Amino acid sequence: MSIPPNRGMKRTSQKLRTKGMNDMKVSARNLIPGTVKKVHIGMVNAEVVIDAGGCEIVSVITKESAEHMGLKEGSKVKAMVKATSVMVVTD
């Protein structure tokens, strides 16, 4: 038994290509502005280091996404954080 191809379905990255980034709306409230400090592109994924006002945020995204967004050192970006929980720790 073979699996039928996805008819009429597009991958998210393809959908974003056809829809302008200015039209993109998200429900996440945790958008942290920053500047790309470093991008390390691997065979499949890319590690993106973002300087967010002195704090570093590291994200691993697909190589295709990093290339599509044209990420490079100095790019202005926003880190969108989606987490099911945030823990608070004290000493």
On whether residue 70 sits in a domain, the answer given is: yes
**Predicted model pTM:** 0.68
| CB 32, CB 57: distance < 8 Å | yes
| pLDDT the model gives residue 15 | 43
Range(s) of the domain holding residue 47: 35-75
**The Cα angle at residue 27 between residues 53 and 71, in degrees rounded to 5:** 45
In a domain? residue 88: no
Q: Compute CA distances 22 → 26, 52, 54, 57, whole Å.
A: 11, 22, 27, 24
User: What's the number of domains the chain is made of?
Assistant: 1
Q: What does each of the 91 residues of the chain score in pLDDT, given as a tens digit?
A: 444 454 444 444 444 444 455 667 777 778 899 999 999 999 999 999 999 999 999 999 999 999 999 999 999 999 998 877 878 899 8
Q: Is residue 1 part of a domain?
A: no
CATH of the domain at 66: 2.40.50.100
